[in-house]
Amino acid sequence: MERGGDKQAKQSDNGGCDASEWKKVAELRAVVEVQDPAAKEEDDFMLRRFLRARDHNIGKASAMFLKYLAWKRTAKPNGSITADEVRNELAQEKLYVQGHDKLGRPMVYLFGARHIANKRDLNEFKRFVVYILDTTCTKLQAGQEKFASVVDLKGFGYANYDIRAMLEALDIMQNNYPERLGRVFLIHVPYVFMAAWKMVYPFIDDITKKKFVFVADKNLDATLRDAIEESQLPEEFGGKLKLQGFNALCN
């Protein structure tokens, strides 16, 4: 179940959620459990994230959450995605879930130039996105519900240009993992990526748009070191953290 540190978090949720918000969470639970018994398997923190994603509107949050439950049954019929189901994606070693930032959020490092558009299978790619998000959530500590990311686009070209994959990843994250993304630093951004970004941008919700930060090369070192301790910053970016293949970390 996609909970991370949620079980212990409620006791340490100091000021993060007032009584009125928990009351709304209870109201949301009452609504969704009547319509789908599977809602009983999800904890209050999960419900709170969906509630916040819809500005505490019970009707909109319940509709979003019920769609999530239906998606979950289809996307993860066995309860989770295994490494064997995304073996081709993992073999590319384009993504690492390792270390944390100064706020204690797990870090996801993505190297865009390692994604080859004409070699990917869309269904496996979608499973890969779910696999990565679920794995990242298991690394959340008590009281922490979000992760952060650095997307390195050095060397990104037309072979890596994949609008369909970008939209699918965005859809999965926004609709099924709301309030999980904390911050994304996009670095070494080439012109060709900006062309793709302009096409994807309209599909990003307003709250999520604010979480993407484009970092100029001249500000790269200062920006990353301001957010991430040197011990947690990969060697590729001047830190001391040695990135390991995703297979070694998560299998």
Q: What integer pLDDT is reported at residue 248 of this predicted model?
A: 57
Res. 11: pLDDT tops 50? no
Task: Give me the percent of the chain exceeding a pLDDT of 90.
Answer: 88
More confident position, 248 or 21: 21
23-59: per-residue pLDDT in tens?
999 999 999 999 999 999 999 999 999 999 999 999 9
Q: Which tokens go with 243? A: 């990135």
176-203: per-residue pLDDT in tens?
999 999 999 999 999 999 999 999 999 9
Q: What integer pLDDT is reported at residue 3 of this predicted model?
A: 41
140-161: per-residue pLDDT in tens?
998 899 999 999 999 999 999 9
Q: What integer pLDDT is reported at residue 72 of this predicted model?
A: 97
202-247: per-residue pLDDT in tens?
999 998 999 999 999 999 999 999 999 999 999 999 999 999 976 5
Three-state secondary structure string covering the chain: CCCCCHHHHHHHCCCCCCHHHHHHHHHHHHHHHHHCHHHHHCCHHHHHHHHHHCCCCHHHHHHHHHHHHHHHHHHCCCCCCCHHHHHHHHHCCCEEEEEECCCCCEEEEEEHHHCCHHHCCHHHHHHHHHHHHHHHHHCCCCCCCCEEEEEECCCCCHHHCCHHHHHHHHHHHHHHCCCCEEEEEEECCCHHHHHHHHHHHHHCCHHHHCCEEEECHHHHHHHHHHHCCHHHCEHHHCCCECCCCHHHHHC
Q: Which tokens go with 191? A: 């012109």
Res. 2: pLDDT tops 60? no
